[in-house]
Amino acid sequence: MTPGARIQAAIDLLDRIDAGEPAEKALTGWGRRSRFAGSGDRAAVRDHVFQALRCYRSYACLGGAQTGRGRMIGALRATGLDPAEVFTGAGHAPALLTDTELSAGTAPVGADACDLNDWVLEEFRTSLGEGAEAAALALRTRAPVMLRVDLRRGTRDDAIGLLAEDDISASTHPIATTALCVTKGARRLARSRAFLNGMVELQDGSGQAAMQAINLDGGRSILDFCAGGGGKALALAARSDARIYAHDVDPSRMQDIPTRAARAGVQIEQIATSALPRKAPFDIVLCDAPCSGSGTWRRAPEAKWRLTRERLTALTQLQSQILAEAAALVAPGGQLVYSTCSLLSTENEDRIDAFLNAKSEWKLVHAQRFDVTDGGDGFFMAQMTRA
């Protein structure tokens, strides 16, 4: 495909997404219909679509229209390119620019420039103060691919060396002592020796740093209450000899845990909801709660436009409910850890304050926010102990 044909494909996909089709579904459908597209074309079209979703408002301003075509005109202008060089009408390239398109387009300001919904920008300002704009701008860029090195199997330099044997380049990242940032060959990771033998696991740097910030002293049993794919449970298993348990209200979300645990050489026992009372109490319970995902909107940019006030309120209610349920599973003198991949205080500090106000036997030990400007995803963790 020519560069122009790739842009036209992105225009068509953005229009479908704007009409309500989920981005992944739209891309899969396009892939099936476009047998002529090679792997490089597919990656390029995907990149165009995801970058336009990250910068949905600012590109529409720059392009002068809230359409796929307007946004891709804006995308080219944002990178200093003249859209007329791509919108040539030749072959499968987009049609020539109209006079209106040539004169339309303004520099984005305010929430347009931050690429957030107006009310979300207000939430960012309440939560992050002067850091709100910087966080919003960081979410307009592509997320790095980060790895967690299992330090029981070797150093970060050992891992970098093993990855290099499979033509994958990585460098250490200061966000966590286990963190690597992949700079080349990320697509080869799943078949690389370092991955298959458990020396590295895919995990964002903030998630790694947050799991390292948990004080595990004296914890002989640890429950990951919202385990999902088990990323946090695996990170804890790598730094503790405690018995590790995984639970999720939706057990199908845990289906990858046995394979991942086997690769890491650790044991993670899954517990059904009905069996929790029998297995409790646990010394440490982690709630990596469902959230808006605002700290991960670089990876899932569609989510930032789909979040509504109603959904956010429902999430905060669920988060408080999960905290209360999890607290009841902690042994006397034990620890409760709450985390989200959100930057919003309504999902983080406010939930902890509400919990501590309602339960006088609990005390805050440590709370920390990881900003998206630190290099990893936005993340929050708080550790509490029962008196």
Contacting residues toward ligand SAM, per CB under 6 A: 225-229, 231-232, 248-250, 253, 288, 290, 322
Nearer to ligand SAM, 134 or 318 (CB): 318
Residue 242 CA to residue 151 CA, distance in Å, equals 17
List for the chain the helix, strand, coil content (%; round to 5): 50, 15, 35
Residue with Cβ nearer ligand SAM (14 or 322): 322
Task: Specify the 3-state DSSP secondary structure of 105.
Answer: coil
Output the smallest distance, CB 344 to ligand SAM, in A: 14
**Residue 78 identity:** A
Q: Closer to ligand SAM at the Cβ: 149 or 322?
A: 322
Q: What is the closest distance, in whole angstroms, from the C-beta atom of residue 243 to ligand SAM in the complex?
A: 18
Residue 167, both tokens: 């033509």
The whole-angstrom separation of Cα 22 and Cα 28 is 10
Q: Cβ of residue 287: shortest distance to ligand SAM, in angstroms?
A: 8
- For the bound state, the minimum distance from the C-beta of residue 257 to ligand SAM, rounded and expressed in Å, comes to 9
Could you tell me whether strands 221-224 and 282-288 are parallel, antiparallel, or unpaired per DSSP bridges? parallel
Shortest distance (Å) from residue 331 CB to ligand SAM: 19
Q: Judged by CB, which is closer to ligand SAM: 56, or 245?
A: 245
How far is it, in rounded angstroms, from Cα 336 to Cα 384? 5
Kindly tell me which of 10 and 322 has the beta carbon lying closer to ligand SAM: 322
- Pick 68 or 293: Cβ nearer ligand SAM: 293
Q: Tell me 144's DSSP state.
A: P
Half-sphere exposure of 9 (CA within 13 A, CB side): 26
Residue 250 phi/psi, 5-degree rounding, is -115, 95
Q: For the CB of residue 292, give the shortest distance to ligand SAM in the complex, in Å.
A: 11
- Tokens read off for 171: 């460098």
Residue 282 Cβ vs ligand SAM, minimum distance, rounded to whole Å = 14
Per the CB < 8 A criterion, the answer to whether 223 and 336 are in contact is no
Answer left, alpha or beta for residue 298, where phi above 0 means left and psi between -120 and 50 means alpha: alpha
154, two tokens: 């070797």
Instruction: Rank residues 223 and 384 by Cβ distance to ligand SAM and give the closer one.
Output: 223
